Structure 1
Amino acid sequence: MRKKFVLLVLTLLLAATSQNASWAGEILEKIKETGVITAGTRKDAIPFAYINDEGEWVGYSIDVLEIIRQDIEKKLGKPIQLKLVEVTPQNRFDKVKNREIDIECASSTFTWEREEMVDFSVSYFASGTKIFRKKGSDLGTIDSLAGRRIGVIPNTTNEQAIKIQQPAAILVPIKDRNEGLEKLNNGEIEAIAGDGIVLQGLRLENGNADKFEVVPEFPYMYEAYACMIPEDESAWRGMVNYSLVKFMEGIVSDQPQQVQMYEKWFGEETGVTPYSREAINDYFQGIVDGYEWIPLISY
C-alpha cells in the first residue's frame, strides 16, 4: 500500500512542477483588487464539502480553502473573503477553465487528461475507487463486478477505474450519489462506484450504516485529491501549494492546530469518516519531502 502512495506522490509532484511558467498573475491581481477568492466546491461530498444540518457549508476541503484564504490574506496584507460557489462533476472543469472560479477544492482527483484543461495543486489527500453495496451482497472483488449493474457518475475517475479494471461490468449513469442511492434501493443497480472515503460518508448519512457497506478493503484504483486552478497562473498556484505543504508539514510534525483539523474529519474516534493517520502521514511526508521545509515559526 505504501508503494502505491509513493507513486501517487511522484505523479503529483511531477504535475505540480511541469506546468508552463507564467508570472502574469491575473488571478492574484484580481484577488488583490477585489479582496475575494471565488472558490468552487461541492454540497454533497461528505466529509470533504457538504451542507450540514444547520445549513452551513463544511468539510475538510472547506477547511483547506480557509487555510489558503488566511495565508493569502497575510501575504497580501489586506482582508480577503472566501466566496464559495457550488460545482458539480459535470461543470467543475469548465468553471475553472473559463475562469469563473479562481480555485476548485472538493474531491477532485488528478488525471493527465484533466491536466490538459486545468492546472493542479499538490495533492492534499489520497483515496481510491470502491463500491457502495447493500449488506449481504456478494459484490466486492473486481471479478465479481462482471455482468453486474454498477452506478457511476459519468466522466469521473471512478467510472474510468471500473471500465479499466472490469470492462464486463454494466455501467449505469447516475447524476449524483443520492440518485445512485435511490436506484440502489429500487433495485435498478446493484452498487455505486465512487471514492471510498466519500462513500463512507454516504454510508453514515441518514441512517444508512446498518444497511450498506463499502468494499473492498483496498481500492480498485488509487487516486490523489488536489485543488484545480486555471492554467498558466504560476504565482497563484505557488501560493496555494505553499499553504497546502505547510498544512501537511503540520500533520506529519504533530502540530496541534493542523492535527485537530484532520482529526475532526478523519480521526479514528472523533472523525466523520475515519482514515488512518499512519497512512496519511506516509502520503503527506512523501509530498513534503519534495519541497523546502517551512520553518515552524510560520505556523
Structure 2
Amino acid sequence: MGKKVTLFILTLVLATTGQASSWAGQVLEKIKQTGVINAGTRKDAIPFGYINEQGKWVGYSLDVLEIIRKDVEKQLGKPIKLNLVEVTTQDRFNKIKDGSIDIECASTTFTWERNKTVDFTVSYFASGTKVLVKKDRGIGSVETLAGLKVGVIPKTTNEQAIKIQHPAAQLVMVKDRKEGLQKLEAGTIDAFASDGILLEGLKKESSNPNNLEVVPEFPYAYESYACMIPQDQSQWRNMVNYSLVKFMEGIVSDQPEPVAIYEKWFGEENGVTPYPRDSINDYFQGIVDSHEWIPLVNY
C-alpha cells in the first residue's frame, strides 16, 4: 500500500512538473490564454525607463513595449494588457530565465555570451561606452584614464570595455548609476563609465548638471540595444521583431506616429536626451534592409 501511494504521488509530481515546464516554454500561448504580457523594464535609466517628476513610469522602452502590445493584441484578436515589472542590472537575466517576465526591453546590450542563456530580438537602439566626468578635467582619451579611478557596474559591457580599452585605469565597482553619480560628485572616483545616452540622462539627476560632461565624442565601444526573451521561442520573437522593424521603418520613412515617439525622447530640440535622427536613421535603415519591407498601412 505504501509503495503504491508513493508511486502515485511521484507520478503526479513528475506529470505536474512536466506540464509546468512545457507550459513555461510556450510564451505566446501563455500570453494568449492570460491576456497579459509581463514586460520588464527599468526605473533608473533615463530616457528608456524612469520615474518622471510627476511620479509616472515613462520612457522610450515603455513606448516600444506599448507598440508591441498593440500589435500582439491585433494579431491574437483579443485584448492584451501590459504588466510592467521593474528589472535591475542584477536580476534582469534571471527574470527572463525563470519565466517571471515574457520580455525585457530597457537598455540591455546584445552579447554572444548572454545569447547562450537568453534570446534577443532585433536591435532597436544603439549607443556606446563613454564616461561621465567633471568638466575641465581633461579626461576623454585612452591615455588620460591611466591611473584614474573609474566607476563601473559589475558584469556589464561597460566594465568589459574599460578593462580592454583602459587597462591602466583603476576600476571601482558601484551598485548602479545612482551610486556612480554620487561617488563622482563626492570626488571618490574620477569618472563613471556607462552607455553614453544613459549618462546624458544621468546628468539630469545631478544637483549641478552644468558641471558634468560625457566624453569622448566617439564611444570606446559600441552597444547594440535589443529586447530579451526566453530561449527557443521563435513565434514570440518573430511577433516582437515584426513590431520593432515596423516601428523603425516608420521612423526612416518619416511616418508621423513613430517619429513623434522618437522625437519625444531623442529630439534635438525638445527631446529628453537628444540623439540626431540622421545618425539613428542610418542604423535603423540597416536593420530594416535585412528584413522584408512592411506596408505601413497602420501609421
Compute the TM-score of the two structures, normalised by the length of structure 2: 0.90
In the aligned structure 1, how far is the partner of 2:82 from the partner of 2:170? 41
Could you tell me which amino acid in structure 1 is paired with residue 184 of structure 2?
L
Say whether the 8 Å CA contact 1:126–1:224 is kept in structure 2.
yes
**Greater than 6 Å deviation, 4+ residue runs:** none
Residues 95-244 of structure 1: matches in 2 within 5 Å?
95-244=95-244
Q: Deviations over 1:148-201 (max 9, x none)?
A: 100000000000100111111111011111111111122211110000000001
Q: How is 1:68-87 mapped onto 2 (pairs within 5 angstroms)?
A: 68-87=68-87
Measured in 1, the distance between the counterparts of 2:211 and 2:82 equals: 38
C-alpha distance in 2 between matches for 1:244 and 1:256: 16
Cα deviation for residue 298 of structure 1 reads 3.7
Q: Which residue of 2 aligns with 1:289?
A: 289
Give yes or no for contact 1:25–1:236 (8 Å, CA) kept in 2: no
Which residue in 1 is equivalent to 2:4?
Answer: none
Q: In 1, are the aligned partners of 2:41 and 2:87 still within 8 Å (CA)?
A: yes
Match of 1:59 in 2: 59
Deviations 1:95-119 (A, max 9, x none): 1111111000000000000000100
Counterpart amino acid of 1:214? V
Extract unaligned runs of 5+ from structure 2: 1-23
Q: What is the letter of the counterpart of residue 121 of structure 2?
A: S
Give, in angstroms, the shift of residue 25 of structure 1: 6.5
User: Which one has the largest radius of gyration?
Assistant: 2
Could you tell me whether the CA contact under 8 Å between 1:103 and 1:229 is conserved in 2?
A: yes
Q: Alignment identity in percent?
A: 71
Give, in whole Å, the separation in 2 of the partners of 1:156 and 1:75. Answer: 35
How many Å apart are 1:54 and its aligned residue? 1.6
Q: Deviations over 1:28-86 (max 9, x none)?
A: 01101111100111100000110111221111111000000000011111111111111
Q: Is 1:152–1:159's contact at 8 Å kept on the other side of the alignment?
A: yes
Show the counterpart of 1:19: none
Distance 1:88 1:100 in 2: 13
Q: Report the 3-state secondary structure (helix = DSSP H, G, I; strand = E; otherwise coil) of the residue aligned with 2:205.
A: helix
CA–CA distance in 1 between the matches of 2:104 and 2:298?
25
Structure 1 portions without partners, runs of 5+: 1-23
**Aligned counterpart, 2:17:** none
Residue type matched to 2:177 in 1?
R
Whether the 8 Å contact between 2:153 and 2:174 is mirrored in structure 1 is yes
Cα pair 1:130 1:194 within 8 Å, conserved: yes
Partner of 1:13: none
Paired residues of 2:246 and 2:296 also in contact (CA < 8 A) = no
Query: Residue 92 of structure 2 aligns to which amino acid in structure 1?
Result: R
- One-letter code aligned to 1:181: L
CA displacement 1:237-276 (0-9 Å, x = unmatched): 0000000000000000000001000000000001001001
- Please state whether the residue corresponding to 1:151 is helix, strand or coil: strand
Q: Structure 1 residue 42 and structure 2 residue 52: aligned? A: no
1:271 counterpart = 2:271 = yes
* CA distances 1:127-166 after superposition (whole Å, capped 9, x unpaired): 0000000111121101111111000000000001001111
Kept after mapping to 2: 8 A contact 1:25/1:234: no
Q: Which amino acid is 1:273 matched to?
A: T
TM-score, with structure 1 as normaliser: 0.90
Aligned residues: 276
